[in-house]
Structure 1
Amino acid sequence: MNAREFLERVPKKVDPEENKGLNTALHFDFKEEQYTLAVKDGVAEFLEGLVGEPEVTLKAKADDFAKIASGEMNPMTAMMFGKLKVSNPGAMMKYAKMLGFM
């Protein structure tokens, strides 16, 4: 599964009741590909491009992100080796479960 396919599947996994009142945007910048996961009142939506003001921006090569998403690469290890850059690591920890990283 590539990075885009992974992100397209995330909104179906987000429970609006569990995330009621959550409003945020997560940007995924893979240089040649850019996407946004926007959440409004707990309802998640996958968008092409960098839309809105992000709470968190993740930067990586699309291939490296796909490895992280599939569990092939540990996100913390990826950050330590500079393969994944996270603009707001504290906030990202809140969304790791929503993205399926935990």
Structure 2
Amino acid sequence: MTAKEFLETVPPKVNPEENKDLNTALHFDLEDEQYTITVKEGVAELSEGLVGESEVTLKASPDNFVKIASGEMNPMTAMMFGKLKVSNPGAMMKYAKLLGFM
């Protein structure tokens, strides 16, 4: 699985009925690959590039991101060793389960 393939699975997991008041953007800065997941009124969409202002930005290599997303690498351990950088860890914790990262 690639980082893009994983991120493409995220928007369908967001239930618009349960998240109708959710409006946010998450940036994924994966070296040469950059993506944005935007959620507006509970509807999630993936875009290429860093679109708009984000509430959270995740930075990692594509390989490390895939390991984290697949559960092969613990996100907290990745952060401690500098393999994952999160601009707003508190907000990311709020979205991690919603987006399928936990």
| 2:86 alignment partner in structure 1 | 86
- TM-score w.r.t. structure 1 length? 0.98
| 4+ aligned runs moved over 3 Å, structure 1 | none
| 1:48 alignment partner in structure 2 | 48
| 1:5 alignment partner in structure 2 | 5
1:14-93 aligned within 5 A? 14-93=14-93
The one-letter code sitting in structure 2 at the alignment partner of 1:41 is E
The structure carrying a bigger helix percent of its residues is 1
Structure 1: unaligned runs, 5 residues or longer = none
1:99, distance to aligned residue in structure 2 (A) = 1.8
Distance in 1, Cα, partners of 2:9 & 2:26: 15
TM-align CA RMSD: 0.6
Distance in 1, Cα, partners of 2:12 & 2:21: 17
Could you list the per-position Cα deviations for residues 2-24 of structure 1 after superposition, in whole angstroms to 9, with x for gaps in the alignment? 11100011001110111111100
- TM-score w.r.t. structure 2 length? 0.98
User: Match of 1:54, SS?
Assistant: coil
| 2:100 alignment partner in structure 1 | 100
Distance in 2, Cα, partners of 1:101 & 1:8: 13
User: Match of 2:69, SS?
Assistant: helix
The one-letter code sitting in structure 1 at the alignment partner of 2:88 is N
Q: Percent of pairs identical after alignment?
A: 80
The one-letter code sitting in structure 2 at the alignment partner of 1:7 is L
Structure 2: unaligned runs, 5 residues or longer = none
